[in-house]
Structure 1
Amino acid sequence: MLVSDLIAISVSTLSPSSAIGADLYCRVGQTDEAKLYRGADYPMKPQDLNKLKSRGVTKLFIEREGRDSYQNYLRDLAAGGGSENADNAQRSAALNEVVLDVLQGSFETNDQDNTVEAASDLGGLAASLVSREDFAAGDLFRVLNHDYATFTHSANVAMYAGMLARELGFTEEDIELVVAGGLLHDLGKLEIPDQILTKPGRLDEDEFAQIKRHPAEGFRQLARREDLTFAQLMMVYQHHERLDGGGYPVGSHDQEIHPWAKLCAVVDIYEAVTSQRPYRTPMSRSDACNLIRRESGKALDPEMVECWISIIHSTMPK
């Protein structure tokens, strides 16, 4: 069996005493060869996970035929099911894997119905996790990816939006809608050529004009749908507006911007500056907090900024 023929899965998603329903393989040394590590019906034990961790093993592998079983295992774990021994960190890792996998697939097919349905489904999954009493933001922060793919950015913004909504006192039902809106907020970017989105240098005037069209383009695609709320549509349309009227696409001012769009704007900027981009290295969390605080009251809602910064500080070492 060759590693290149298998699908990599994160060890952090494996819960003690809960089998994933697929054979697990491990890499043989530094080669492309893989050997059977654990049969499909044999769950991991805490000592197994500790041994893998001590050896620095972060990835195991499954056969492609086992993908659906693994996805079902992840969904159950993220939703609060699965093993009673699973902790918040494992549930957070499971949620992140599901969101990235599903969102990447739906974005690549560019099927709007499928994407909206997936966003709604994932919104419910995320809300069930972040609304748990034992949820800790730091566990989710640790497992998020930070590359510059549109689907990765959208996934992170959605998770951040859900955490901020919870801290602001939103109901679980509204958190579900906020997360789904966050997953869709950059849908309009799928119409922008990759060479612009991933350009390593500064964008010229024409290229930036194309970028600035994505909120209106996303709104145009989604506006007639009956399965999205007005608040979600405003997350798509207004997440680049500023309180002082200097944003886009139309230069709306404070009272004209929907509260959910204001929420999305805070976490969108934070995610953008702390993730890897072709043209710059990511900011530290501390510098990113300073940046959004400087924009507080000018571009961003002050209460939401301070609430988000308090979440970030809660995840940083004391």
Structure 2
Amino acid sequence: MESLRVKKVRLTETGTDFHELTKGFVSIRTRNLFPGSVVPCDLYFPFLHGGQALSLEKALASGDEYTAEFHDKLISHGIQTVYIRKEAEASFSDYFTSKLQQIINSPNTPSEVKTQLIYDDAESIVKKVLRERPDQGNIRLGRRFVNYFAIQLAADEVTADALLVIFSKDYYTFTHMVQVALLGMAFCRFLGWKEDDLKSFGFGALFHDVGKSSIDNAILNKPGKLDADEFDLMKAHPRLGYERVKKTHVMTPDQLSVILHHHEALDGSGYPDGLEGNDISLYARIARIADCFDALTTNRPYKSALPPAKAIKIMTDEMGHTFDRELLARFVQFLGLEEADQPASGLRLQIDLGIKVLLELEKQPEKWNGLLVGMEPERYLIVRVPALAAAKNHLQPGSHTVCRYICRGNVVQFRTKVLGHVLHPVKLLFLKFPSGFQVLNLRKNPRIECFLPADVDIEGRHYPGTLLDISIGGCKFSSRGVSSDISSQLPVGASITLFSTLFSEPSPLPFAGLVRHVEVDRDKFILGIQFERLDGVSHQKLSAFLENMLVLVR
């Protein structure tokens, strides 16, 4: 593949009108091409000539094999997007969906990879609808997305945190539409909705902003506040989208209500119809919450993205009267950002008996070590605290306490209240079961999500799996098809060697380290590995890989 003459370029500096250059083409993410497969159409890549002229040139022809070597070269050169001609879009869609179907049904593919590919599929569907305007054919493609994601939600626990990791941090109409649908469907699953209802909601939510295709981009992307006339035009997008999709006769009234009423407010201050209370459908009330949250947590031309906790504070404190308060409280629980006054029904706190916890009083310097020895979900936790006799004057019933523990290599924190304590025969502290938690990022070195093939050597036996993320200091590795006693073979502190090619290396590189975390779930295990004593070559190659990847994700 020496003919791949690729240079990383900044398109804005080439002097070429890239929009004109790509007319008649559709962009495809490199990760949506599968090594070892036969490409269904010609693939084009941007080439820079003489540092100035940019062109699209054919790199693979229809029927050529997309080899792992070619894929590695693209990744190593930072190429994340390729192009196909518009007339080949249907062929590529058939190719991608057939591969996606296999991946969705594979027990060996990490949940994160499945969700990312489902996101990509939904994004391509929405782009097509926005480009072509809604018709029966392209709107019906949305059913494929909701079917896939409903399967994923049933098979794996897709948390809000897992979604926020893959969500675009910059606001585009098409990514926003996809993110509202994904977030809303996952929230509905959290609420206990049946699969058919999940699909029905998601189908409407995926196209909730389709009316924006009729709004001038100068208004959509204006860096400052809209004037009165511009805002009136913007407020027309729900009805414009509704009228267009209604003519396709594809959606039910509930699904159409998401498009028409996702900007309606419970107090009647919304648009376009100024509906109040239960006059707004349940679908539209949920869509409004997801829509507002995603808008606040992404970068817009006129504002920077807010952290999720800050967005929720604004939605609760400043906009609470416009939302269904019960649904908003449940959404806060779904996100796991803070405690709510009611029990956390359906909240899946990832904490196991025997785990070590650190307790401290809010705004106080004292800290105490403990061990979780019992719990009654949604009611209380029981923590054994050796120093409880000395700490009992601090840990009185009603005291607000912060607890931290390690889960999957991350620090998890929750706030709770002391319910009571027992000093004899064992020193036990009873805490209120938390209804929310935060995952804290305390790492010195940035971790890059990569989903690369890798394997680990455990007592001379190799276990193939996936490298979920990696930094200069360590990584997270996942594998399936193992015995349940694997944890006994891998105590915390055990030496281990991981092997990975890091995309472009001709042979796997060894990375020696120590096991810092082990999690076993039936036939799947996840390891947190801390690197140590890396040889010069492995350290150099890993540093170069991380540097290149950090440039790409910024």
For the superposition of Structure 1 and Structure 2, which TM-score range results when normalised by the shorter chain? 0.7 to 0.9
Asked if structure 2 preserves the Cα contact closer than 8 Å seen for 1:10 and 1:58, the reply is no
Equivalent residue number for residue 9 of structure 1: 29
Tell me the secondary structure at the aligned position of residue 243 of structure 1: coil
Q: Deviations over 1:20-71 (max 9, x none)?
A: 54499999xxx999999xx947679xxx99xx99x8x876676748944762
- Flag the 1:258–1:61 CA change in 2: closer, same or farther, 3 A: closer
* Correspondence for 2:130 among 85, 101, 107: 107
Cα distance between partner residues in 2 of 1:62 and 1:70: 15
Cα distance between partner residues in 2 of 1:3 and 1:95: 29
Shift of 1:115: 3.5
Q: Deviations over 1:111-131 (max 9, x none)?
A: 432332122222222222223
Equivalent residue number for residue 309 of structure 1: 332
Greater relative contact order (Cα < 8 A, sep 6+): 1
Cα distance between partner residues in 1 of 2:169 and 2:138: 21
Q: What letter matches 1:91 in structure 2?
A: K
Shift of 1:216: 1.7
Asked if structure 1 preserves the Cα contact closer than 8 Å seen for 2:163 and 2:183, the reply is no
Asked if structure 1 preserves the Cα contact closer than 8 Å seen for 2:224 and 2:302, the reply is yes
Cα distance between partner residues in 2 of 1:226 and 1:103: 18
Tell me the C-alpha RMSD between the 2 structures.
Answer: 3.7
Q: Which has the higher strand share?
A: 2
- Flag the 1:21–1:7 CA change in 2: closer, same or farther, 3 A: farther
Equivalent residue number for residue 291 of structure 1: 314
Instruction: Give the TM-score normalised by structure 1.
Output: 0.80
- Flag the 1:250–1:90 CA change in 2: closer, same or farther, 3 A: same
Shift of 1:221: 2.1
Q: After TM superposition, what 4+ stretches of structure 1 lie above 6 angstroms from structure 2?
A: 4-8, 23-27, 31-36, 41-44
* Correspondence for 1:274 among 297, 306, 311: 297
Query: Where do 5+ consecutive residues of structure 1 fail to align?
Result: none
Asked if structure 1 preserves the Cα contact closer than 8 Å seen for 2:135 and 2:248, the reply is no
Asked if structure 2 preserves the Cα contact closer than 8 Å seen for 1:106 and 1:114, the reply is no
Equivalent residue number for residue 140 of structure 2: 117
* Correspondence for 1:208 among 224, 231, 248: 231
Q: Which has the higher helix share?
A: 1
Instruction: Give the TM-score normalised by structure 2.
Output: 0.48
Cα distance between partner residues in 2 of 1:120 and 1:246: 32
Tell me the secondary structure at the aligned position of residue 29 of structure 2: strand
Q: Over alpha carbons, which structure has the higher Rg?
A: 2
Equivalent residue number for residue 398 of structure 2: none
Shift of 1:255: 1.7
* Correspondence for 1:145 among 135, 150, 168: 168
Cα distance between partner residues in 2 of 1:218 and 1:25: 33
Q: Deviations over 1:187-209 (max 9, x none)?
A: 21111111100111111100000
Cα distance between partner residues in 2 of 1:161 and 1:234: 15
Shift of 1:302: 1.5
Fraction of identical pairs, as percent: 24
Cα distance between partner residues in 2 of 1:150 and 1:61: 19
Equivalent residue number for residue 485 of structure 2: none
Asked if structure 2 preserves the Cα contact closer than 8 Å seen for 1:20 and 1:73, the reply is no
* Correspondence for 2:96 among 58, 63, 71: 71
Counterpart check, 1:195 vs 2:218: yes
Tell me the secondary structure at the aligned position of residue 298 of structure 1: helix
Cα distance between partner residues in 2 of 1:72 and 1:202: 41
Asked if structure 1 preserves the Cα contact closer than 8 Å seen for 2:173 and 2:209, the reply is yes
